[in-house]
Structure 1
Amino acid sequence: MSEMPCNVEIWIDDGVDCFTIYIDKKLITEQGATALQRILRTTVAGWQRVDNDTVLRTLRAVTG
């Protein structure tokens, strides 16, 4: 991805069976990306999807 949509620095796509994080290349090094990947892989077992109206209202309030 050459540029992030709407000039954001981080974009998260919460798909049906996949959670994808896009980070602007200018913000992260290869070492940082590897560390982030390791962190996420070790915590993935404890993740749970929260489908809650309050969460959606908060996201809408923050993102417009």
Structure 2
Amino acid sequence: MSGMPCNVTVWVDDGPACFTVYIDSTLITEQGATSLQAILRRHVIGWRRLDESFVHRTLRAITG
């Protein structure tokens, strides 16, 4: 993906049904993207959503 918002190179969208990672196309090759996808798919089993208020406060503090 190119033309990321706020000129960032990596953007993560934590939607209610899925977790999507966008990476600027100038930073990654097709082989790198395939490898990253395999890594994330392997580890997704252990992921859990943290909806506690401290998580949201921390994200607001970091991202403004």
For structure 2, the residue ranges without an aligned partner over 5 or more in a row are none
**Residue type of the alignment partner of 2:44:** V
User: CA–CA distance in 2 between the matches of 1:33 and 1:48?
Assistant: 23
Relative CO higher for 1 or 2, CA cutoff 8 Å, sep ≥ 6? 2
Q: Percent identity?
A: 67
Deviations 1:13-51 (A, max 9, x none): 111111100000111111110110000010111111010
- State how many pairs are aligned: 64
For normalisation by structure 2, the TM-score amounts to 0.93
Q: Which whole-Å CA distance do the structure 2 matches of 1:58 and 1:29 have between them?
A: 32
RMSD: 0.9
Deviation at 1:53, TM superposition (A): 1.0
Runs of 4+ in 1 over 6 A off after TM superposition: none
Q: In the alignment, what sits opposite 1:10?
A: 10
